Structure 1
Amino acid sequence: MSPSKSDLPSRLLLSLEPWRNAAHWRIAFSGGLDSTVLLHLLASLAKSESLPPLSAVHVHHGLQAVADAWPQHCQSVCAALGVPLLIERVTVQPGASLERAARDARYAVFGSLTQTNDALLTGQHRDDQAETLLFRLLRGAGVRGLSGMPQQRPVGQGTLIRPLLDVSRAELEDYARVHQLTWIEDPSNQDRQFSRNYLRHQVMPLLTERWPQAQASMARSAAHLREAQGLLDELAQMDLAHANSAHDFQWLGLPSLELAPLTALSAARQRNALSHWLEPFTRLPDSDHWSGWTDLCDAAADAAPIWRLADGELHRSAGRVWWLSGDWLRTPVIGCGWQTPASALRLADNGRVMFSGQAPCGPLRIAYRQGGEVMHLANRGHRDLKRLLNERAVPGFVRGRLPLLFRADELLAVANLPGLDGNGQDGWQLHWQPTDEDQGLS
């Protein structure tokens, strides 16, 4: 038999059942009603149930003087419940949205603390879900945004879980009253200049007065939209499978897609597939800025169009679209001498180069294409480097970054391009690792 609606501990335990074998449960503890009830519930359950080790973390933003007393309050609550507490102080970066900046700082802490197989538990409830749906609806969000807060998502190396999303604030208040809990009332929660507070105090009371089940209905709508988003994600994966073709430049280590399978789709399916693909890399554009994708696709065949997004750029070259960020957007230093070719040479903003086999005699230097370079090839004589790159369909954005090996003014090799990357008779090759491993992982 399933737990009754009023049996909050059993409902919480059922919600957390998939994570009973986690290495650690850490509660994000602000000291407010939601997290106080969650902490008390878990500490009480731990006395009779076999749960993962519990701890709490309080993030002190330092945005208002009254908040200076909150860490001590949180420490007292945790001490009374026998739950270890970590207090983390952060500096909130100023910006257009103080709410978002504080949230970003808070979740940066959560991400750094959450290790493999850890679960971070937060106290958002059903009323929060309804507010989120309404807030995003007013901002013109799509299906993904209107699906609201997911019950779980990755954070750090572990998982963030919201086990109270099916619980109303009224139920949390009833529990707190029965157990005589005390909690922090953040004065900023009354400030109507914040959009969420305006919705909570001005709009939602009017809606629930007319439609008492409004919040439950809105949370249910978010669940429907979450299911719809799941179907859209499945469609995106199917469409992307056709565009994730192999190519000759896998060694670049760059995310890329074949363009033709994408442009064969309807405009809506193109946006859906590309949004799914881009989401791990960048904040996605709103609907008004998708014209950049159309411009990229419609540019002339000999053009090199770029779509600039919040956290990087999408380039079209060699029949593919490529995601570039970090070092790929910086201009590498023109060249440098290679004094010890037996060791790898680190290049500023451009990874590193190394030899396999015995390096040629020096003095050697690494430089980049400036135009007009000529290379001598056995059986072919002297050939323009530009033509050689064209023959191999080297993507345009790579050409100015390809390390060129010179001895004095003689071009000896072009890294990583078969037939140009070394001397077969002497048995050496020039290898380029475009980014350091750490940068690649980040």
Structure 2
Amino acid sequence: MKTSLPAKLLQALSPWRNAPAWHIAFSGGLDSTVLLHLLADLANTETLPPLSAVHVHHGLQAAADAWPAHCQSICNALGVPLRVMRVQVQPGASLERAARDARYQAFTEVTGAGQVLLTGQHRDDQAETLLFRLLRGAGVRGLAAIPAQRPLAGGYLVRPLLDVPREALEAYAHEHQLKWIEDPSNADPRFSRNYLRHRVFPALTARWPQAVANLGRTAEHLSEAQGLLDELAQLDLRAAGQPSPFPWLHLPSLALAPLCELSDARQRNALRHWLTPLTRLPDSGHWAGWHSLRDAKGDAQPLWRLADGEVHRCGQRIWWLPTTGSEFSDAAVSWPDPQNPLELPGNGQLKLIGEAPEGPLQIRYRQGGEIIEVPGRGRRDLKRLLNESGLPGFVRGRLPLLYQGQQLLGAPSLAGLWRAPSDDWHLHWMPQTCDQGLS
């Protein structure tokens, strides 16, 4: 027996029935109009979370100026509150991607803790996405195409119509005499997805009528395969996730040795999983940077540059350093009142705990050749002490040093394994957190 569209929608949304709210991404097009109508109709007979609609106005074409009013009239008729959000689309190589980024940033602002944002992508969209990414040479994660659900802000993005063919949505819309917007840009074959939709898929389905359904099923298989790869990555990262010897340095890091025991393919799989929340992933040609970093000599300190930061190797550990707008300054900073914490430009905060030495005091950064007095060991070369401590090289240039005139009095006690220079006081440095990064 064929399941009705409302029953199929309710089944898809059953895990989210207790969410605080459901927001419908409402462009005014066919897909979102059907989704909104279905949910508004179901709310008359079912106990659903509070419904609201969100229309994102990109301002990319003159015709779009009339769409918020159209969406408002539909929502008024259905008794659903509407929020219109105007966004700025950043110029770039791909207008489609820039508009999508702006749209999802707006959705992020709307979706509160535990709330659900619902979008109207359907089975034909899934097939187009799979073929589009296949032609771009995507890996398994990309070929898994559109996920039915994923985290969004503090809640979730859910696509409850992903198993529904477009023709079923059209039939529902005509049956209920719905009116929707036809975006003129959807007919422009210069956009890749439109080219696939209007030129490629008609030819495919003429020869293979089940092409769309079969591609959707392939995406499900690939999504399952990606789930298995994710489970394997979690196992491998657990072995490499042994605690850092510098717990105060709040940056993601991994032990290198457990990774090196894996095959190249498993290394890439584990690193993709680790890097996914941190940066855009490298394409196939950029993995040579990982091999160079991994295979460098033990005393080298190589780095691998990625889109949103760098992976550094220090000894037998790799560290992630995000790119940030925070500018670190290595200029000297006076510390007229060491009883109060000192804010270091782009470098966190420094506290002096205990009885401060006589001033005037100043914070400087390494220039090379520094000598420091270590109780019980005499005057020692700072570079050698840092080498003994194993402190990562990317931190050493940021290490705040306390000077009295030309005399180096001390460095933060957390930076090395040697004793503080005085029992009367010691320095406590709090670097910037991982969210701020170390630029």
TM-score range, shorter chain: over 0.9
Residues 147-205 of structure 1: CA distance to partner in whole angstroms, max 9, x if unpaired? 01111111111100000001010000000001100000000000000000000000111
Instruction: Determine the C-alpha separation between the residues in 1 that align with 2:59 and 2:436.
Output: 32
Aligned equivalent of 1:130: 127
Matched position secondary structure for 1:251 = coil
Aligned equivalent of 1:195: 192
TM-superposed CA distance for 1:300, in Å, is 2.4
Instruction: Determine the C-alpha separation between the residues in 1 that align with 2:435 and 2:278.
Output: 16
Instruction: Determine the C-alpha separation between the residues in 2 that align with 1:5 and 1:397.
Output: 62
Instruction: Determine the C-alpha separation between the residues in 1 that align with 2:433 and 2:313.
Output: 24
Matched position secondary structure for 1:365 = strand
Supply the AA of the counterpart residue of 1:248: P
Q: Does 1:65 align with 2:62?
A: yes
Instruction: Determine the C-alpha separation between the residues in 2 that align with 1:224 and 1:198.
Output: 26
Supply the AA of the counterpart residue of 2:374: L
Supply the AA of the counterpart residue of 1:287: S
Instruction: Determine the C-alpha separation between the residues in 1 that align with 2:336 and 2:345.
Output: 16
Aligned ranges 1:248-259 → 2 under 5 Å? 248-259=245-256
Matched position secondary structure for 1:290 = helix
Matched position secondary structure for 1:359 = coil
Instruction: Determine the C-alpha separation between the residues in 2 that align with 1:327 and 1:6.
Output: 51
TM-superposed CA distance for 1:253, in Å, is 0.4
- 1:328–1:350 CA contact under 8 A, matched in 2: no
Matched position secondary structure for 2:45 = coil
What TM-score does the superposition give when structure 2 sets the normalisation length?
0.96
Instruction: Determine the C-alpha separation between the residues in 2 that align with 1:278 and 1:323.
Output: 9
Aligned equivalent of 1:101: 98
Moved more, 4-13 or 215-224: 4-13
- 1:412–1:422 CA contact under 8 A, matched in 2: no
Q: Does 1:433 align with 2:435?
A: no
TM-superposed CA distance for 1:352, in Å, is 1.2
Q: Does 1:204 align with 2:182?
A: no
Aligned equivalent of 1:350: 347
Residues 239-269 of structure 1: CA distance to partner in whole angstroms, max 9, x if unpaired? 1111111231121101011111111111100
Matched position secondary structure for 1:86 = strand
Change (3 A) 1:96 1:328: closer
TM-superposed CA distance for 1:412, in Å, is 2.0
**Structure 1 stretches lacking a partner, 5+ long:** none
Residues 85-117 of structure 1: CA distance to partner in whole angstroms, max 9, x if unpaired? 010111111110000000000001111111101
Supply the AA of the counterpart residue of 2:113: T
Aligned equivalent of 1:177: 174
- 1:144–1:226 CA contact under 8 A, matched in 2: yes
Q: Does 1:381 align with 2:378?
A: yes
TM-superposed CA distance for 1:16, in Å, is 0.5
Moved more, 393-402 or 333-342: 333-342
- 1:315–1:321 CA contact under 8 A, matched in 2: yes
Residues 127-158 of structure 1: CA distance to partner in whole angstroms, max 9, x if unpaired? 00000000000000010000011111111111
Q: Does 1:263 align with 2:260?
A: yes
Change (3 A) 1:339 1:437: farther
Change (3 A) 1:433 1:97: same
Match of 2:107 among 92, 106, 110: 110
Supply the AA of the counterpart residue of 2:383: K
Supply the AA of the counterpart residue of 1:377: V
Aligned ranges 1:363-378 → 2 under 5 Å? 363-378=360-375
Matched position secondary structure for 2:415 = coil
Change (3 A) 1:393 1:419: closer
- 2:250–2:434 CA contact under 8 A, matched in 1: no
- 1:281–1:311 CA contact under 8 A, matched in 2: yes
TM-superposed CA distance for 1:321, in Å, is 0.7
Instruction: Determine the C-alpha separation between the residues in 1 that align with 2:245 and 2:358.
Output: 30
Once superposed, what is the RMSD of the aligned Cα atoms? Answer: 1.6
Aligned ranges 1:84-95 → 2 under 5 Å? 84-95=81-92
TM-superposed CA distance for 1:326, in Å, is 3.5
Supply the AA of the counterpart residue of 1:57: V
Q: Does 1:21 align with 2:18?
A: yes
Match of 1:160 among 157, 160, 172: 157
Aligned equivalent of 2:396: 399
**Structure 2 stretches lacking a partner, 5+ long:** none
Supply the AA of the counterpart residue of 2:315: A
Q: Does 1:293 align with 2:290?
A: yes
Moved more, 355-364 or 224-233: 355-364
- 1:344–1:353 CA contact under 8 A, matched in 2: yes
Change (3 A) 1:438 1:274: closer
Supply the AA of the counterpart residue of 2:341: A
Aligned equivalent of 1:221: 218
Matched position secondary structure for 2:330 = coil
Number of residue pairs matched by the alignment: 436
Q: Does 1:321 align with 2:318?
A: yes
Supply the AA of the counterpart residue of 1:308: R
Matched position secondary structure for 2:248 = helix
Aligned equivalent of 1:273: 270
Match of 2:406 among 388, 409, 418: 409
Aligned equivalent of 2:42: 45
Matched position secondary structure for 2:88 = coil
Instruction: Determine the C-alpha separation between the residues in 2 that align with 1:83 and 1:328.
Output: 41
